[in-house]
Amino acid sequence: MSEWRLYEVFVRSKHGLNHKHVGSVHASDAEMAMENARDLYTRRSEGVSIWVVPSDTITASASDEKEVLFDPSEDKVYRHASFYKLPDEVGHM
């Protein structure tokens, strides 16, 4: 089975929600990956749509490079609504 490609599986649990990563399957092609994903991850109507993506086509950030990669967003507090203080009289905004 090692010669079978690994696919990551994403399931949309309900209409209107994002697809979410649920796990992976091995398969000889995309069609089989889809069938395996259905059998493995949606046995109890957990989804309305499935994506299967070959794992080796995913480019991921290393989770250890947190500081380097995400540094630009760390010191920009003014990007958050909570940065802007409004007088109570203005009410909800």
Partner 1 sequence: MYAQLVETGAKRLKTKEEMSPEEREFHEKVDAETKIEPKNWMPEGYRKTLVRQISQHAHSEVVGMLPEGNWVTRAPTLKRKLQLMAKIQDEAGHGLYLYSAMETLGADRDEEIEKLHQGKAKYSSIFNYPTLNWADMGAVGWLVDGAAIVNQVVLQRTSYGPYSRAMIRICKEESFHQRQGYQILLDMMREGTEEQKAMVQDAINRLWWPALMMFGPHDDESPNSQQSMAWKIKRKSNDELRQMFIDQTVPQLEFLGCTAPDPDLKWNEETGHYDFGEINWQEFYDVLKGNGPCNRERIKTRKNAIDEGAWVREAAVAYAEKQKQRAQAA
Does 90 bind partner 1 (CB under 8 A)? Our answer is: no
Q: How far is CA 69 from CA 56, 63, 80, 86, in A?
A: 21, 9, 19, 33
Does 64 bind partner 1 (CB under 8 A)? Our answer is: yes
Amino acid at 22: V
Percentages of the chain per state (helix, strand, coil), in multiples of 5: 40, 25, 35
Does 60 bind partner 1 (CB under 8 A)? Our answer is: yes
Does 32 bind partner 1 (CB under 8 A)? Our answer is: yes
Selected binder of partner 1 within 18, 45, 58, 62 (CB under 8 A): 62
Selected binder of partner 1 within 14, 15, 43, 76 (CB under 8 A): 43
